[in-house]
Amino acid sequence: MLKLLWLIPVLPLTGFLVLALCGRRLSRHQIAWVGCGSVGAAAMTTAFVAADFLGVFPDRESYHQTLWNWIDTSGMTVGVSWYLDALSLLMVVVITGVGFLIHLYSTEYMAHDDGYARFFAYMNLFVAAMLTLVLADNLLLLYLGWEGVGLCSYLLIGFWYREPEYGTAAQKAFIVTRIGDTALAIGLFILFTQFTSLSIQQVQSLAVEAWPVGSNLAMIVAVLFLIGAVGKSAQLPLQVWLPDAMAGPTPVSALIHAATMVTAGVYLIARMHHLFALAPMVQEVIAVLGLVTLLLAATSALVQHDIKRVLAYSTMSQIGYMFLALGVGAWSAALFHFLTHSCFKALLFLAAGSVIHSLHHEQDIFKMGGLRRHLPWTFWTFLIGAAAMSGVPLITSGFYSKDWILWSVWSSPISHRWIWFGAVFGALLTGLYSFRLIFQVFFGEVRTQPTGEPGLAMRGPLVVLAFLALTVGFLEMPHTLGNVTVFSHYLSHALPTTELLPGMDESSEAREQLAVTVAALLGIGLAALLFLPGSRPASRLADQSTDRPSMTFLQGGWGFDRLYDRLFVRPWFSLTRNPSDMLDRGYEWLAVCAESCHGWMSHTQTGQVRWYAATVAVGTLVLLGLFAM
């Protein structure tokens, strides 16, 4: 069964080809079957492969499959080959599983759209590219997936192409991530020049041998990879594209901009952890970047009006947690948060999509309200998602993953106390903005009349994801609570275990957990106090005009858009305003010279035959005279 590994990315690719080539001739029903079926089949195959792989695990830690030699020339050998280990299997399971649910949801959500076939074609292509990214055995193939998901993200953000703003958002997303991609490419050049290999495993083992910890080259390569990762994962300073990316249809936001693609950066860093371990300073930078991003995004999420933008900023913030975990060396914790996050964030986006769907594409939360009774399914699933995101203790998965990260930050030798405080403050903000959304959208009076609950194809994925958002967390529970270590045990074959400071025992862990729990609950409570309709602060907040400078500052994501506009976009536009070629001026000048010369010379062409004859005679005389001398 392991031999079927190659089918996993190929199945969605086939779906894409079928839809792209003859999508217009298929009926909507057939399109849905192809689009959904291909991903579903991939998920099934994944299940078989996973069963087979786990059957012999951990005796056999990885499985390697080469389809053909992609490039094999002049000292460069790169295969189209897959590499399956604990880490990539986890990613594949999430991508195909959550991906399938979102595809299923889309069959109803997009049912009345003109570009039905186009939508599923792009989505399938995305899944294929994302699977290539995580299954790639070498960095070049990884880069193929990396760019492929970028392209699909571009296409899907700009899916409703008639709106120019959506197109702008799509271009912004692609170009900003391309900057990161280019850095990644340069990293590949350096690695290849050093080791004449691009195999992920080989390069890293060679690097560990050749480069001492903290050596310059290791740092440079790690920084370049980090730039690539922050571009894709929307972290500081390349985070500006994600909020605008919400222009795409909601299932797209759920699949690409929440569950899978934006976590590719996390995957990349985890995949290259040997390399990052050689550059401890870069790791610290990762932690700090993660922290700043998570605070930036959380504060921005607090003041957004658009329901999807709130979720976009929350995604940024949660990925910030993952980066923080990677930065302090808690590799497995980052991946665990990735797992729970992809469940609850997909759930939140899909539930938000259900809200938007029933409100005729209204996205402003101040025009929503009181949906609790009209959309009970949506409300309860959304509530579960929000609770998981804010880390409601014991019953939600988000609690376990976030707790693990914060505990690692507290106890890791390469972390600082103030980072922990920042992260805990972030947890408080998470509770605050999550439940602000709940209270604003589902409580209070009805402001826009909803059309009613969505159908089964949309409700099914919501319920499944809600179930997962509650239960996935039980895969890993701290020492103080049950001490389940399935997940960390499983990943320990692919990623190093987290180092702890000496003297960290269960009692200090319990105290730390209490602090985190209190922060999360405090956030939720504060949200109830501030935003629950009927409470005095809520009416005060609602009255407040939003054009105060501090509010606009937060709403614009700390003004990064403006800053980049001044620094890069405007200079770029002024640079490219003039379409004429400077170098052509030189040749034009040559042409003008020739023309004026010939104009001047043409005065001698009088057309007077006698004048010509006289010049010939004089010329002959002069020449004869010269010869005579």
Partner 1 sequence: MVMMLWLLILIPLLAAPFAWLGQQWSRSAPRMIALGALSVDVLLALFLWNHGDSVQASGHGSWLVESHISWIPRWGISLHLGLDGLSLILIVLTAFIGVIATIASWTEIRSRVGLFHCNVLLALGGVIGVFLAIDLFLFFFFWELMLVPMYLLIVIWGHAQRRDASFKFFLFTQAGSLVLLVAIVALALLHQQATGRPSFDYADLIGLTLTNEMARWLMVAFLIGFLVKLPAPPFHTWLPDTYTEAPTGATIILAGILAKTGAYGLLRFTIPLFPEAMSEISPIVMGLGVVGILYAALLACAQTDIKRLVAYSSISHMGFILIGAFAGTELALQGVVMQMVAHGLSTGGLFLLAGTLEERYQTREMGHMGGLWSVMPRLATMTLFFACASLGLPGLANFVGEFLVLFGSYATQPFMIILASLGMVMAAIYSLGMMQRTFFGRQQDTRPVPDLSNVAFGTVLVIAVLQIWLGLYPRVVLTTAQPVMEQLVQATVASANLIHSRSESLLSSHIVTSQGTIP
Partner 2 sequence: MLSTPALVLAIVLFGLGLIGLLSRRNILYMLLSLEIMLNAAALAFIAGGARWGQVDGEIMFLFILTLAAAEVSVALGIVLQLSHRFRTVDADALCELRG
Which stretches of the chain bind partner 2, using CB under 8 A? 601-610, 613-614, 617
Cis previous bond, 376, omega within 30: no
Assess 223 for contact with partner 1 (CB under 8 A). Answer: no
- Whichever of 497 and 615 has its CB closer to partner 2, that residue is 615
Q: Which of 25, 29, 112, 193 binds partner 1 (CB under 8 A)?
A: 193
- Rounded to a whole number of angstroms, the minimum distance from the CB of residue 625 to partner 2 is 15
The residue type at 263: T
Q: Which of 62, 171, 480, 517 binds partner 1 (CB under 8 A)?
A: 171
Strand partners, 547: none
- Rounded to a whole number of angstroms, the minimum distance from the CB of residue 599 to partner 2 is 8
Residue whose C-alpha is closest to residue 125's, from 139, 104, 144: 144
193 binds, among partner 2, partner 1, none (CB under 5 to 8 A by kind): partner 1
Assess 167 for contact with partner 1 (CB under 8 A). Answer: yes
- Whichever of 587 and 611 has its CB closer to partner 2, that residue is 611
- Rounded to a whole number of angstroms, the minimum distance from the CB of residue 627 to partner 2 is 17
Assess 147 for contact with partner 1 (CB under 8 A). Answer: yes
- Which pair of structure tokens corresponds to residue 319? 């990925």
- Whichever of 575 and 609 has its CB closer to partner 2, that residue is 609
Q: Which of 25, 29, 164, 445 binds partner 1 (CB under 8 A)?
A: 164
Assess 151 for contact with partner 1 (CB under 8 A). Answer: yes
Assess 474 for contact with partner 1 (CB under 8 A). Answer: no
578 binds, among partner 1, partner 2, none (CB under 5 to 8 A by kind): partner 1
Report in angstroms the alpha-carbon separations of 231 from 143, 179, 578.
Answer: 13, 7, 30
The residues in 124-143 that bind partner 1, with binding defined as CB under 8 A, are 140, 143
Residue whose C-alpha is closest to residue 107's, from 347, 353, 348, 346: 353
Contact 433/314 with Cβ under 8 angstroms? Answer: yes
- Which pair of structure tokens corresponds to residue 77? 């050998």
Q: How many residues does the chain have?
A: 629
Per-residue H/E/C for 381-411: HHHHHHHHHHCCCCCCHHHHHHHHHHHHHHH
- Whichever of 271 and 459 has its CB closer to partner 1, that residue is 271
- C-beta neighbour count of 405 within 10 angstroms: 25
- Rounded to a whole number of angstroms, the minimum distance from the CB of residue 465 to partner 1 is 32
Give the whole-angstrom CA distance, residue 147 versus residue 140. 10
Contact 469/337 with Cβ under 8 angstroms? Answer: no
- Rounded to a whole number of angstroms, the minimum distance from the CB of residue 518 to partner 1 is 46
- Whichever of 549 and 599 has its CB closer to partner 2, that residue is 599
The site string for partner 1 over 65-104 (x = CB under 8 A, - otherwise) reads ---xxxxxxxxx---x------------------------
Q: Write the DSSP string, 371-384.
A: HHHH-HHHHHHHHH
3-class SS at 509? helix
- Whichever of 575 and 601 has its CB closer to partner 1, that residue is 575
Q: Radius of gyration over alpha carbons of the chain, in Å?
A: 30
Q: Alpha carbon 311 to chain centroid distance?
A: 13
Assess 188 for contact with partner 1 (CB under 8 A). Answer: yes
- Whichever of 171 and 517 has its CB closer to partner 1, that residue is 171
Under rule CB under 8 A, how many of the chain's residues touch partner 1?
53
Contact 370/441 with Cβ under 8 angstroms? Answer: no
- Rounded to a whole number of angstroms, the minimum distance from the CB of residue 607 to partner 2 is 3
Cis previous bond, 212, omega within 30: no
Give the whole-angstrom CA distance, residue 281 versus residue 300. 28
Assess 595 for contact with partner 1 (CB under 8 A). Answer: no
The residue ranges that bind partner 1 (CB under 8 A) are 20, 24, 68-76, 80, 140, 143-144, 146-148, 151, 154, 158, 161-164, 167-168, 170-171, 174-175, 178-179, 181-182, 185-186, 188-190, 192-193, 572, 575-579, 581, 583-584, 586-587
